[in-house]
Amino acid sequence: MLKHMLISFAALAISSLDAPAQDKREIIPRDSITQKYCYQHVSDSLPATKEELRAKLEKWIKQNYNALENKYVKLGVDGDSYTIHDREALPGRARKFVEYDLTVDLKENRYRYKLTNLQYAAVGMYPLEDKMATDKRSDFEEMDVILRGIIASMEAALKSGW
């Protein structure tokens, strides 16, 4: 009986060591189909036409992204779809960055965004899903704060009464 209790306790202790490793990778949401890290959302109906949303989005892009000043910024427009590629530094971390692609699609009274292709840049550049990217929970938490901040800023601009 004591032997079974010791084996059970050892198994429980070993499995609890794996739990924090799994949790840190779940801070940032994943696409349910591809299992890649991804933030995505379709807005509720807004009291704004597609042209008003376009003007608000273009103003927000102009205020936050300058391809002439930042070599990492790449902007693209294809009809009603806007794509932004950029990188943000992790706070307090020398030479650690998160790179991303933000795609915003506009429709009448609505928009959809996808923040994808998340990459961790430090010594090398790795997709965030790669085990070589980072193993630190604090890095995932900081990236989540940065990326949610970008989304919140964009959504506030699109929902504002500019």
Predicted confidence band of residue 97 (pLDDT cuts 50, 70, 90): very high
For the chain, give the percent of residues with pLDDT over 90: 67
Res 92: pLDDT:
78
Bridge partners, residue 151, by sequence: none
Q: Residue 16 in 3-state DSSP?
A: helix
- What stretches of 65-162 show up as alpha helix (H) in DSSP? 137-159
Quick check: 79 pLDDT over 90?
Answer: yes
Structure tokens that stand for 11 in this block: 């198994």
Predicted confidence band of residue 130 (pLDDT cuts 50, 70, 90): confident
DSSP designation for 30:
B
CA torsion through residues 141, 87, 54, 161, sign: positive
Quick check: 150 pLDDT over 90?
Answer: yes
Res 143: pLDDT:
94
More confident residue, 93 or 91: 91
Q: What is the largest CA-CA distance in the chain?
A: 73
Q: Which residue has the tokens 């630190």?
A: 136
Res 23: pLDDT:
58
Q: Which amino acid is at 123?
A: V
CB atoms within 10 A of CB 25: 17
Q: H or E segment at 14?
A: helix 2-24
Strand extents, DSSP E, 9-133: 39-42, 74-78, 81-89, 97-107, 110-121, 125-127
Q: Which amino acid is at 20?
A: P
Res 161: pLDDT:
78
| Nearest-angstrom CA–CA distance, 59 and 44 | 21
Res 93: pLDDT:
65
Residue 134 · residue 122 · CB < 8 Å: yes
Quick check: 16 pLDDT over 70?
Answer: no
Mean pLDDT lowest among 61-70, 119-128, 131-140 = 131-140
| Nearest-angstrom CA–CA distance, 37 and 153 | 20
Quick check: 20 pLDDT over 90?
Answer: no
